[in-house]
């Protein structure tokens, strides 16, 4: 029995290791948010958009474009209002279908990428565009004329935005990004605890 219990422990450890490093998205502890920031995605994927989430965090990946493959395969894109794409490898914003896909998008967070110019994004409902720590040199007139868009937040060597509104918005967004997946951690911990108790019992 001891041998069996040890084998089961090894299998569980391997399973946790495999699933822990898989390029998946998990629901955040924050209601209606999906976290996809595990460093392995190279494009905006809708594969895990299987519920009406209003926020998706694609931060800290290897995404290079705002183009969304298979955009119309998901019935839930219309619910997405906030996209977090900080700390990626995005440099070119042309030829993307982002706002054709997420038709109700109102916040786009692109901090710490490699964006130099901001063309017409065709995001007519956008209210906040955050471009801190990008080498931005120009923002198109089309973007500046979006009806409800606040002035883009651009803090780098070319632009400076230090208004109280900008600071408040950034704090709110950071709170979204820093949300910990407490529910998932509790579940994993509980499984490990119960399995350990079972192993001790059968020994």
Provide the pLDDT for residue 125: 94
Bridge partners of residue 57, in order along the sequence: 35, 84
pLDDT of residue 73: 83
User: CB within 8 A of 64, min separation 6: which ones?
Assistant: 42, 43, 88, 89, 90, 91, 92
Instruction: Compute how many other C-beta atoms are within 10 angstroms of the C-beta atom of residue 154.
Output: 20
Residues 138, 141: Cα–Cα separation, whole Å: 9
pLDDT value, residue 184: 44
CB 46 within 8 A of CB 70: yes
Residue 39 has a pLDDT of 86
- The CA distance from 17 to 112, in Å, is 30
What pLDDT score was predicted for residue 113? 95
Please list the pLDDT of the chain residue by residue as tens digits (203 residues): 555 544 454 444 444 444 444 446 888 766 789 999 878 899 999 988 999 999 999 999 999 999 999 888 889 999 999 999 999 999 999 889 999 999 999 999 999 999 999 999 999 999 999 999 999 999 999 998 999 998 877 665 555 444 444 445 555 655 544 443 344 444 444 545 565 565 555 55
Closest CA to 25 of 2, 64, 4, 51: 51
What gap in Å lies between CA 70 and CA 53, rounded to an integer? 18
Cα–Cα dist 6/202, whole Å: 11
């Amino acid at each position: 029995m001891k041998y069996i219990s040890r084998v089961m422990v090894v299998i569980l450890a391997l399973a946790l290791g495999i699933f822990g490093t898989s390029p998946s998205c998990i629901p955040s502890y924050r209601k209606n948010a999906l976290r996809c920031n595990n460093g392995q995605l190279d494009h905006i994927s809708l594969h895990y958009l299987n519920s009406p989430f209003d926020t998706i965090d694609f931060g800290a990946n290897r995404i290079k474009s705002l183009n969304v493959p298979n955009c119309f395969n998901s019935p839930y894109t219309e619910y997405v209002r906030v996209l977090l794409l900080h700390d990626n490898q995005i440099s070119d914003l042309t030829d993307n279908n982002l706002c054709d896909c997420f038709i109700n998008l109102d916040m786009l967070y692109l901090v710490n990428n490699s964006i130099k110019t901001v063309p017409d994004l065709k995001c007519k409902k956008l209210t906040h565009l955050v471009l801190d720590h990008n080498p931005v040199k120009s923002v198109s007139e089309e973007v500046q004329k979006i009806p409800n868009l606040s002035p883009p937040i651009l803090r780098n060597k070319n632009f400076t935005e230090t208004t109280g509104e900008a600071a408040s918005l950034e704090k709110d967004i950071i709170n979204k990004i820093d949300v910990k997946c407490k529910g998932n951690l509790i579940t994993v911990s509980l499984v490990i605890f119960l399995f350990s108790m079972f192993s001790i019992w059968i020994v």
